[in-house]
Chains A and B, each alone.
Chain A
Amino acid sequence: MADEDDDIILADLNDEELVEQMFDDLYDGMKDEIEDAVHILLDRGWAPYRILTEALVGGMKIVGEDFRDGILFVPEVLLAANAMKGGMAILKPLLAETGAPTIGKMVIGTVKGDIHDIGKNLVAMMMEGAGFEVVDLGINNPVENYLEAAAAEKPDIIGMSALLTTTMPYMKVVIDTMVAEGIRDDYLVLVGGAPLNEEFGKAIGADAYCRDAAVAVETAKDLIARRHNQRAAG
């Protein structure tokens, strides 16, 4: 951190300016600054949940939108997510203590035979950035991994990713197994990956195909809200 004349001293900013600055710093992937700012807001008496939603989730929303619109690309998003993670690491234990609400839980993994986890990692990060609890199964998951995690974690959403033509049909294997076990409708199933498209998602029986991580977040929020409404109505 150089001390040039035009440096901004985070602690000198008022709350509103500081949150705006955090949006910029998230955008630029500046982890140290995000961590500093989280501490400052905590010292000023902000509730952890408020910092998460207003500063971190707010900032990652801009990153997500610019990623969706082809303005930012994967390297920038990874840096931003890394900065957000720094902030989250401070907030996580505090959130648990204060019993803050989560908007939903997701189990996510790349399917069997597929090592490509960049897209999956982005989705996991953006979902966390949006306030979801995410259980990451990693790469190369056979159907058993998804089923075990579903039983153990009781997520709202199961997310599957595939980046290869040779692995994308495996998503259907997972969904078919869920149907056979009678648990398909207990979860929202989201799928994504470069070779996929909406039609493919429908054909294999997923709830939605998500073109990118930003769309995944929007879709997840939307489907969870709809499901709540349905349950309330039914």
Chain B
Amino acid sequence: MTDALTELLSTRDWLMADGATGTNLFNMGLASGDAPEFWNIDHPERIRTLYRNAVEAGSDIFLTNSFGANASRLKLHDAASRAFELSRLAAALGRDVADAAGRKVVVAGSVGPTGEIMGTVGTLSHETAVEMFEETAAGLKEGGADVLWVETISAPEEFAAAAEAFANVGMPWCGTMSFDTAGRTMMGVTSDDFVRQVDALPNPPLAFGANCGVGASDLMRTVLGFAATGTERPIIAKGNAGIPRYEDGHIHYNGTPELMAEYAVLARNAGARIIGGCCGTMPEHLRAMREALETRPTGPRPTLEQIAAALGGFSSDSDGTGDTPAPKRERRGRRRS
């Protein structure tokens, strides 16, 4: 059976994903430091509203309120054992909203990072990470998610663990990393590295890309980096609505709906097929993005200069790819093995 996302991708040139989860939930009264996932039980109507707002603003895909629904993050709230249950509920509420939408809407089960470090200097083993992701994935599947969607990942080890977990539960999936450090992820992954990792997976994702990070410009540069590899896999662009400011007791992102509309069109021109927002992206941004995507033609791939002119400058000179490798330090000589 073909999954809902593959089906939509086969009939449409572009799809619009959703916007922010955290920022929207704050506006509904979530207190800072509390786990948003508890609202799947305590305030299911608010979570339905969150989803419905994205759908009504034109999203073809929305992510479930399960970003932190893994054992590692939930243990902060003495709820490590509830990853499955909270994930299942997040997806089930999403299923209700999608099925009532009157058109095909994809419920994407959000899977966030564990927050722990893997690899040689880390504390989290591959096996434990797979187990944790599998628990979340199984809950999302049970709740009726169409696809799984791992996001905001920095480490290739963690991405690989999520992919393996998704294979174990037999679900199609998407995955995005967050490129927030001089054009790379916090762990140093470039756009180019990521494409290579994705292509080499035994169960590659339906689509892959970038989310969150620094701002729309940096994210666009990353998308261009993906496209430059010539990959045929659909690219996802989910950028923040500008940068956060603290105003009148709450967080406000400075990106306007007009800017995000501009970003959406540029992202499509750059080669992204799934376009959405991340932190700070509210329904009014999504509506402006949808309108722009529907009414404006697809243009040529933008240059970095055009991106900077439309969306603002970049946070670093280089994104770590291409012919300008970072200068290496002069060393004294050999290294012992």
- Chain A residues with CB under 8 Å of chain B are 1-2, 4, 6-8, 20-21, 24, 27-28, 30, 33, 62, 66, 69-71, 73-76, 78-79, 82, 111-118, 139-140, 142, 163-170, 172-173, 194-197, 199-200, 203-204
Contacts and interface: CB of A to CB of B under 8 A. Distances in A.
Interface string B166-180: 000000000000101
Nearest to B76: A140
A112 B33 CA distance: 5
Q: Chain B: interface secondary structure?
A: loop
A21 B246 contact: no
Which of the listed residues A30, A33, A194 has the most CB atoms from chain B within 10 Å of its own CB?
A: A194
A192 B169 CA distance: 37
A17 B336 CA distance: 16
B246 A172 contact: yes
A72 to B, nearest CB: 8
Contacts, number: 136
Contact of B334 (A8, A111, A164, A197): A8
B304 to A, nearest CB: 17
B320 A70 contact: yes
B300 interface: no
A164 B180 CA distance: 13
B117 A118 contact: yes
Nearest to A113: B33
Nearest to B327: A71
B180 A115 contact: no
Given A70-B316, A203-B245, A165 B22 contact: yes
Contact of B244 (A20, A163, A168): A168
B33 A196 contact: no
A4 B337 contact: yes
Interface of B: 20, 22-23, 25-26, 30, 32-36, 72-73, 76-77, 113-117, 119-121, 154, 178, 180-184, 186-188, 243-247, 250-251, 279-280, 316, 318, 320, 326-329, 331-337
B186 A73 contact: yes
A24 B331 contact: yes
Nearest to B26: A166
Nearest to B112: A164
Nearest to A63: B329
A58 to B, nearest CB: 14
B240 to A, nearest CB: 8
A197 B244 contact: yes
8 contacts: A1-B336, A2-B336, A73-B186, A79-B121, A113-B33, A166-B36, A197-B243, A203-B245
B297 to A, nearest CB: 34
Given A78-B121, A166-B36, A204-B246, 19 more contacts: A6-B333, A62-B329, A69-B326, A70-B183, A70-B320, A71-B327, A73-B184, A113-B33, A115-B76, A115-B115, A115-B116, A139-B76, A139-B115, A166-B22, A166-B33, A166-B34, A167-B32, A196-B244, A197-B244
Q: Which of B22, B115, B333 has the most CB of A within 10 A?
A: B115
A52 B118 CA distance: 29
A28 B279 CA distance: 36
Contact of B30 (A79, A166, A195, A203): A166
Nearest to B240: A195
B245 A165 contact: no
A197 B25 CA distance: 22
B326 to A, nearest CB: 4
B36 to A, nearest CB: 6
Contact of B336 (A7, A20, A70): A7
B33 A194 contact: no
